């Protein structure tokens, strides 16, 4: 069997899926470029045989599907890690269809990306069940390992919310770190417009930098109810294994990345 056939089949399936999606306008160019970059083979990655040059002469020929399977698994691992979903959210009415947004789900956070900046939130609300705890008591109230930012020192205060679902740490000047298990369902949502999120890296981990102020909300686990929280500042979001982090309040992505890499 031709080694290109699995790729052709996959491409055909994706094209067919694309025909089923109702996407009135393309996703923001920067988001598309970042996703495309993540799907390109990494340096040194086995991209399979090159059809332009024919088969490689070798005394031991690998199974023709072996490299193809490895590449497909590698690329789908990237997709699974980034958990990118670019879809149209529409209603049955023309008014609803005019309010289309794209959704980027990453690290337990749902980014609702519109074509124009969203209306700012002027009220604030706590997360469900949010309460202050002593820093050394937080690990006993959650089911994941609580970490802190060495570069910032001890936090000024710590809260736990939603029966141990989220731990938040606060430092002076509006800097906060939210940490939670983001491996299953989205926890937070952000309503975004231009400037678009920027793909970056926190050490070896995929991350997104949200450069502007934006409405932040909380997604209830059972029924998906959205709870508006407040207007958030520039934020870095990333995931390490199944644990997710959002670092808010630092002015530049370079500073945010530097601080984030001190997580321990």
In a domain, 45, yes or no: no
| Residue 34 within a domain | no
In a domain, 172, yes or no: yes
Q: Mind listing the pLDDT tens digit for each residue in 192-250?
A: 999 889 999 999 999 999 999 999 999 998 788 999 999 999 999 999 988 999 999 99
Question: Whole-model pTM above 0.85?
Answer: no
60 inside domain: no
If one counts the domains in the chain, the total is 1
Q: What is the pLDDT of residue 102?
A: 87
Print the domain residue range for 245.
123-186+196-260
* Tens-digit pLDDT profile for residues 29-74: 555 555 555 545 544 444 444 434 443 343 434 444 454 444 444 4
Q: Classify residue 24: in a domain, yes or no.
A: no
| Predicted pLDDT of residue 46 | 47
Domain membership flag for residue 204: yes
pLDDT of residue 42: 47
Question: What is the reported pLDDT for 145?
Answer: 95
pLDDT tens-digit series, residues 121-161: 999 999 999 999 999 999 999 999 999 999 999 999 999 99
Q: Which residues pair with 214 in a beta bridge?
A: 232
Query: Quick check: is 149 in a domain?
Result: yes
Q: What pLDDT is attached to residue 29?
A: 53
């Amino acid at each position: 069997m031709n080694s290109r056939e699995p790729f052709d089949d996959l491409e055909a399936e994706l094209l067919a899926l694309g025909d089923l999606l109702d996407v009135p306008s393309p996703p923001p160019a920067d988001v598309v470029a970042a996703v495309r970059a993540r799907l390109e083979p990494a340096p040194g990655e086995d991209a399979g045989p090159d059809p332009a040059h024919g088969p490689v002469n070798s005394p031991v020929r690998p199974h023709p599907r072996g490299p193809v399977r490895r590449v497909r698994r590698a690329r789908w691992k990237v997709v699974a890690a980034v958990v990118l979903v670019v879809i149209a959210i529409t209603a049955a009415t023309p008014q609803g269809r005019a309010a289309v947004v794209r959704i980027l789900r990453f690290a337990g956070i749902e980014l609702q990306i519109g074509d124009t900046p969203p209306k700012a939130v002027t009220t604030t609300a706590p997360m469900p069940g949010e309460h202050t705890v002593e820093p050394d008591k937080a690990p006993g109230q959650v089911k994941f390992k609580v970490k802190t930012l060495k570069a910032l020192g001890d936090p000024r205060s710590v809260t736990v919310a939603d029966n141990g679902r989220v731990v938040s740490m606060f430092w002076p000047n509006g800097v906060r770190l939210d940490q939670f298990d983001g491996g299953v369902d989205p926890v937070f949502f952000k309503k975004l417009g231009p400037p678009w999120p920027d793909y970056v890296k926190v050490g070896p981990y995929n991350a997104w930098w949200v450069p502007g102020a934006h409405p932040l909300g909380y997604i209830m686990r059972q029924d998906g109810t959205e709870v508006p929280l407040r207007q958030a500042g520039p934020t870095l979001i990333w995931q390490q294994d199944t644990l997710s982090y959002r670092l808010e309040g630092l002015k530049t992505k370079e500073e945010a990345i530097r601080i984030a890499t001190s997580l321990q």
